[in-house]
Amino acid sequence: MKGSIRLDPMTIDPITIDPITSFSSSTIESSILRLDKLHPIVSGNKWFKLRYYMEEAIAHKASTIASFGGPYSNHLVALAYAAKENNIKSIGYVRATKEDTLTPSLEEALNYGMQLEFMGRTHFQEIKNDLLKTNLHSSIDTYSTYFIDEGGYGELGAKGAATILNEHCKDYTTIIAAVGTGTMLAGLINAAAPNQNVIGIPILKNEASIETEIKNLLQDSAKPFTLLHNFHQGGYAKTNPALITFMNQLWETEKIPSDIVYTGKLLFAVDSLLKENYFKEGSKILLIHSGGLQGNRSLPAGTLLY
């Protein structure tokens, strides 16, 4: 890994691209960029979205890094671990109350030394925006606590996400990824070649502002991309028997672990699009496995085969 974030090099694996045989045919080739294999904890796109924030915080000697997330946040767990590895304190502002049962994800973040602050759900966005404004209007040289927006949203997050696409990704005609905050997709759009079509699968329902939020992070706001809004499965972290069955079948056929929040919905969407002949003949499709399976911890034991 490049950059100044310390992580144990023995736990870092090279990024691989695996074929998806069941998603391919004589006229269409599908593969998946396995960011989930990169690191066991700072999984998938989390490393890329955090890397430049962490570097800035370290460069300006911040004593604490803080961010925001839900009770099953991949982002908070990854941040807690990365901060611990770099001897920086961390705070996670959680969209939950103290009275809620502590999830395995939050317990893991606690074990990495993260201080948890429970903000409830009703005024979460307002409190978050006030804290981020405090960071924004402070001199960077006077930071004691360095704030990162939820999911790593922001220009530095998109800059990091742009480094996801390596030299082995150049030959693909279509790049497709799940969309939460839009940070990763913005980075992919910025990095994509002019001949590559970038498609996003939003995992939130009625996310009217997501296109604008993505464009706000683009180096060229006129650069084209496509959002397909019909595959959210009911909304953020919502699931149904069809999605669970699909995820289990995918594991049995391809040995690709997916999650109910992001990658499961992405793969379900691409499978549906292939059946609808959405993609042109000759397409070479690259799916981005964004890693992070924390959401699956909300399921009853035995629901998934992995």
Return the structure tokens found at 264: 């499961």
* pLDDT at 6 (0 to 100): 64
Give the domain-ending residue among 152, 173, 194.
152
Residue 97 main-chain phi, psi, to 5 deg: -110, 165
> How many CA atoms are closer than 13 Å to the CA of 163, on its beta-carbon side?
15
Task: Write down the pLDDT at residue 60.
Answer: 85
CATH of the domain at 197: 3.40.50.1100
Q: Per the domain annotation, does 157 fall within a domain?
A: no
Chain-centroid distance of CA 38 in Å reads 13
With contact defined as beta carbons under 8 Å apart, do 279 and 28 qualify?
yes
Same domain? For 89 and 171 the reply is no
Per-run averaged pLDDT (10 residues), the chain, 306 residues: 50 79 97 93 92 91 94 96 95 96 97 97 94 68 82 96 94 97 98 97 90 97 95 89 97 97 97 97 98 94 96
Q: Which domain holds residue 101?
A: 45-152
Integer Cα distance of 239 and 233 in angstroms: 6
- What's the structural domain count of the chain? 2
| Residue spans of alpha helices (H) in the chain | 45-59, 74-85, 104-111, 124-136, 155-161, 183-191, 210-215, 241-254, 263-275
Confidence (pTM): 0.92
Same-domain status, 189 and 281? yes
159, part of any domain: no
Q: Where on the phi/psi map is residue 224: left (φ > 0), alpha (ψ -120 to 50), or beta?
A: beta
Residue at which a domain ends, from 122, 152, 182: 152
Q: Is 228 a member of any domain?
A: yes
Instruction: Give Rg (Cα) of the chain.
Output: 19
Q: Rounded to an integer, what distance in angstroms lies between the CA atom of residue 279 and that of residue 27?
A: 10
* Predicted pLDDT at 10: 43
- Please check whether residues 116 and 261 belong to one and the same domain: no
Q: Are residues 185 and 255 in the same domain?
A: yes
Claim to verify: residue 114 and residue 237 sit in the same structural domain: no
Domain co-membership, 86 together with 208: no
Determine the Cα–Cα distance for residues 130 and 120; give it in Å rounded to an integer: 15
Q: How far apart are alpha carbons 274 and 215 in whole angstroms?
A: 27
The C-alpha atoms of residue 219 and residue 225 are separated, in whole angstroms, by 13
Same domain? For 15 and 113 the reply is: no
Q: For residue 2, what pLDDT is reported? A: 39
Domain boundary among the residues 119, 152, 185 is at 152
